Amino acid sequence: MRLLFLGDIVGRPGRNAVTERLPGLRDRWRLDCVVINGENSAGGFGINEAICDEILAAGADAITLGNHSWDQREALVFIDRQPRLLRPVNYPQGTPGRGANLIDTRSGHRVLVVNVMGRLYMDPLDDPFAAVDRELETCPMGQVADAIIIDVHAEATSEKEAMGHYFDGRASLVVGTHTHVPTADHRVLAGGTAYMSDAGMCGDYDSVLGMQKEESIRRFLQKTPGVRMEPALGEGTLSGIAVETDDRTGLAKRVAAVRLGPNLEETWPRFWD
């Protein structure tokens, strides 16, 4: 299978990059499954139903979230009727929505997508390791799922790496989100799981984490309240990771970083061209 995971969409530039580029990439790379983190897609804070529909229509098979899941209050309602929108699986019992789902892809494969949030320097949610363990036990790769993608929305690279190694051999891809900065450590771990500490963001990289530079800098210099942070409005860049799996096992065979757009050096899976 051919999998593509794209990092946090930040505002309109990120949405435009996805809607303009993803349909062509699905055809060009013959993608079987696309998962995108959308927790900053609505003005940099959360997601609404119209944007969720827009991202899915552009070619995403599933959308993951994170600590900004509920910044748009309507998400608390429409997430229950949209099975392809996932919030962290380790939110407390009774939280609206779901944290994992077995997605039927356009190519006829079944991909388990799991969204989980770390606890270091983040909200003190339930144990992320145990929460994902439960999902993998009920939907093992190679028996129920053809592939498994785990989005680890976390601040600390140590926690992300620990989860990558812990689930090595039981998932196709463990990928980090949240920091909006793409890391250079994409690789296939010893047990056959693809890993990357952070997929980066889909947004304007002439910014501070996708937000306008001026207010971000001012807050560091003055440490006083200011205006609401707003997304930078330059051209957006796609950032993420591409994975090719073994159809027999679901484990990764090849992996490549994806960066398409201005401000960063472009790279893509040349083994698919």
**Residues known to be catalytic:** 68
- List Cβ neighbours of 221 (8 Å cut-off, separation of 6 or more): none
Using CA atoms, how far apart are residues 173 and 170, in angstroms rounded to an integer?
9
Using CA atoms, how far apart are residues 176 and 101, in angstroms rounded to an integer?
18
Using CA atoms, how far apart are residues 101 and 112, in angstroms rounded to an integer?
6
Cβ proximity of 168 and 191 under 8 Å: yes
Cβ proximity of 5 and 241 under 8 Å: yes
Closest by CA to 111, choosing from 96, 125, 126, 101, is 101
* CA 201 from centre of chain: 9
